[in-house]
A and B are shown apart, each in its own frame.
Chain A
Amino acid sequence: MNLSPPPVSLTQHVASLEAGEHVIAAAWLGSTPALATPALALSGGAVMLGGASAAQVRAEVHGDAGLLVATASNGQLFTGGGDGRICSVAADGLVTELARDAKGGWIDAVAASGNGAIAFSVGKRVTARDDKGNLKTFEAPSTAQGLSFAPKGYRLAMAHYNGVTLWFPNTETAPQFLEWKGAHLDASFSADGRFVVTSMQENALHGWRLAYKPTDKVAHMRMSGYPAKTRSFSWSHDGSWLATSGAEAVIIWPFQGDGPMGKPPRECGVRRSKVTQVAFHPGAYVIAAGYEDGCILLLRLTDGSELLARPAVKDSAVTAIAWDKAGKRLIFGCEDGQAGLLTLPA
């Protein structure tokens, strides 16, 4: 019998939004963090901007071809669609086409560097666009399904079948291949650039310690035991923890020092539903976790305490969560097009 009290509810602080379509990504847009506009990238091809229903703007980005992938950086949203186009969307709804795949193929991944560069992939073709708009292309050994920029330098990690390739688009340096058998899905650089972590087809994570030679056994980190694929990662603000989806709890790996090997991960928010989305608070050891059954909890890593942000809602698995820069507001979206905006009480 569970004797712990039900989580304290924040649901009265949530304003619901009607996105109407599967939400691909959530973000906060604009150059002034305090005035940032919440945005939801929608599978039908548009981006919905604005929180209160009166102020909502719908920016048409990819038309009927659909919006497939999106990522936010520096107050802008970058989207990739079924039309082979990569666009940026600003807080006021201004859409700018940044690049276009020559064959109009589906965009498989998009990443932004934080200092103006972006990268995207269509199958094996990976294109990097620096802050001046120069395009460089690279052919990965197989589809580059996950892309992540290193925090420093113009360097891109791409996850593909049997490993990760690290590529410097603006130098002649040969790309570095980090081999590990299996299909790698998403990729993520740690904030200090010491680690690259991927999710895998086999319900596991794989990581590399970049300080070691990739052929060296100690370079590898295997993080397994998930009942489903991990499709959402989030690093803590100080880079010392990595929260992951894919289990019936948020699994948080310790990345202090030399990484998580030999240390057990933390588990928070244990429920009878799979975690689908995780987002670390930008300034505290608090994780917003979205579940397959629609529930959203705020979880404190230090003591495991829970706050309820959204109760379970049928057929409304959580597909996107984003904190604003100050960590006072949270926007989320779900597979059935429901969405909401949580404003933490002062």
Chain B
Amino acid sequence: MSGKIPVTVLTGYLGAGKTTLLNRILSEPHDKKYAVIVNEFGEIGIDNDLVVGADEEVFEMNNGCICCTVRGDLIRIIDGLMKRKGKFDAIIVETTGLADPAPVAQTFFMDQDVGERARLDAVVTVADARWLLERLVDAPEAKNQIAFADVIVLNKIDLVTPAELEAVEARIRLLNPAAKLHRTTKCALPIADVMDRNAFDLDRILEIEPDFLEEGHHHHHADDIRSMSFEIKGDVDPDKFMPWIQDLTQVQGPDILRCKGILAFKNEPKRFVFQGVHMLLDGDLQRNWHDGETRVSRAVFIGRNLDRDAIRKGFFATAA
């Protein structure tokens, strides 16, 4: 982890306020230098930072897996930026409003050169509190962006009533219970809430009420994105968990948008943290379980056509 340049991916449907957030990050007083990868020049004017134009070229990998797509332009630009180490501390990638975040995120797992030098810090999605519910109905991209997010900036809350805000939050939580959510007007929030989040804000997983996503709360369409979270009150056996998660993501990878979890492995003082994008998985032992902290194992899955009972059963069978 150390020494790798953190990369923040900014997504959000057209008009949600992505550029506002980007300008806020760049113009707020900070001691960092950013390299910013944008699709359109012009709307941001920053002297101190390195701005690079991108063209969102999505490449399929030749490995027989249709969901393994990467951003070719991103590989090239990051390769170029890494030759100028020391000129910047972090990279921000702004995607177009219609972009699928998966290829961007997968680039950091799939490309060896990028993965060795940079790490995906967080996918930050800006959502328009007033229009999100409608976009979730008519724009599959908007739904993907919410489902993929590690951090959601729910913007323009001044344009909705408290009841409307509650409704949109509840809908977001159904799609993605694991993301950190911030309510803003004009994307006003401390930079630290979106930048340098490290480890994907995974601690949020431990805050989710496990029963939050019970069945029957709303009607599902067949292709609907849904999320599920499970908790084992105690340790899991890595020799059971690893083959299970690998098999699950291999078989259902195209339908699993994101998965993440914090696990207590048997006889392991450190927390095991994993996260995945479609078929790609990444896991690491991180900090120790603190004294007095309850050892629990939590996992969250976000995707389409997922069989909740089968995944629950599979996960619980890995208990130590």
Contact = CB atoms under 8 A, between A and B. Distances in A.
A202 B72 contact: no
A201 B83 contact: no
B72 A161 contact: yes
B76 interface: yes
A201 B61 contact: yes
B72 A106 contact: no
A274 B280 CA distance: 25
Contacts of A143: 55, 57, 72-73, 76
Contacts of B72: 142-143, 145, 161, 183, 201
Nearest to A122: B53
Interface in A107-140: 108, 123-124
A200 B75 CA distance: 13
A181 B77 contact: no
A228 B112 CA distance: 8
A161 B113 CA distance: 18
A229 B84 contact: no
B63 interface: yes
A33 B63 CA distance: 47
A43 B83 contact: yes
Contacts of A229: 112-113
Contacts of B85: 22
B80 interface: yes
B57 A142 contact: yes
B52 interface: yes
Given A161-B57, A182-B62, A202-B61, A106 B83 contact: no
Looking at B52, B63, B83, B111, which has the most chain A CB atoms within 10 Å of its CB?
B83
Contacts of B70: 201
B212 interface: no
B62 A106 contact: no
Contacts of A108: 76
Interface size band for B: 20 to 34
A66 B61 CA distance: 30
B63 A106 contact: no
A44 B84 contact: yes
- Chain B: interface secondary structure? mixed
A103 B53 CA distance: 10
Interface string A132-168: 0000000000110100000000000000010000000
A68 interface: yes
A105 interface: yes
B47 to A, nearest CB: 11
A24 interface: yes
A66 B79 CA distance: 13
Contact of B62 (A105, A123, A202): A202
B62 A181 contact: yes
Given A143-B57, A161-B72, A201-B59, A106 B77 contact: yes
A202 B61 CA distance: 7
Contact of A161 (B59, B84, B112): B59
B55 A106 contact: no
Interface in A16-37: 22, 24
Contact of A106 (B53, B59, B61, B113): B53
Contacts of B75: 201
Interface string B27-68: 000000000000000000000000011010101011100000
Nearest to B80: A68
Contacts of B73: 123, 143
B42 to A, nearest CB: 11
A60 B319 CA distance: 63
Interface string B77-114: 10010011100000000000000000000000001110
B280 to A, nearest CB: 15
Contacts of A142: 57, 72
Contacts of A43: 83-84
Interface string B165-180: 0000000000000000
A142 B57 CA distance: 8
B55 A123 contact: yes
Contacts of B111: 201
Contacts of A22: 83-85
A79 B80 CA distance: 14
Interface string B3-31: 00000000000000000000000000000
Interface of B: 52-53, 55, 57, 59, 61-63, 70, 72-73, 75-77, 80, 83-85, 111-113
Interface of A: 22, 24, 43-44, 66, 68, 82, 103, 105-106, 108, 123-124, 142-143, 145, 161, 181-183, 200-203, 228-229, 335
Given A22-B83, A161-B57, A228-B113, 6 more contacts: A82-B52, A103-B53, A142-B72, A145-B76, A182-B61, A201-B111
14 contacts: A22-B84, A22-B85, A66-B80, A82-B52, A103-B53, A105-B53, A106-B53, A106-B80, A143-B72, A145-B72, A161-B59, A181-B62, A183-B72, A201-B70
Closest A-B pairs by Cβ, 7 of them: A43-B83, A182-B62, A22-B83, A183-B59, A202-B62, A43-B84, A123-B55
